[in-house]
């Protein structure tokens, strides 16, 4: 999925580096699933037509990126 101003790969890489730094210092890392459906999704009113379009999300869209974990520790 396109993201701005940073690519998805860049965001995942930075998040994984941060999570690994926390783990290396015995600090907790909390991974949270954020899910929405047509029922609870905000119905934005905007002149920007792209804000009003809802796209079908892939089945795995809320899965954790393998680089992030979860980890056994």
Domain boundaries, the chain: 8-52
pLDDT tens-place string over residues 9-22: 999 999 999 999 99
- CA distances to 3, 48, 58, 65 from 37, in Å: 20, 21, 12, 21
Q: Give the pLDDT score at 60.
A: 82
CB-based contact 15:68 (threshold 8 Å): yes
**Residue 21 to residue 53: CA distance in whole angstroms:** 38
Q: Give the pLDDT score at 71.
A: 86
pLDDT tens-place string over residues 18-64: 999 999 999 999 999 877 666 666 666 666 665 555 667 778 878 89
């Amino acid at each position: 999925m396109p993201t701005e101003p940073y690519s998805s790969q860049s965001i995942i890489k930075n998040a994984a580096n941060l999570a690994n730094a926390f783990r290396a210092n015995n600090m907790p890392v909390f991974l949270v699933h954020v899910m929405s459906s047509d029922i609870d999704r905000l119905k934005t009113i905007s002149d920007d037509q792209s804000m009003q379009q809802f796209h079908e999300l892939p089945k795995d869209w809320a899965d954790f990126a393998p680089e992030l974990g979860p980890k056994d520790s």
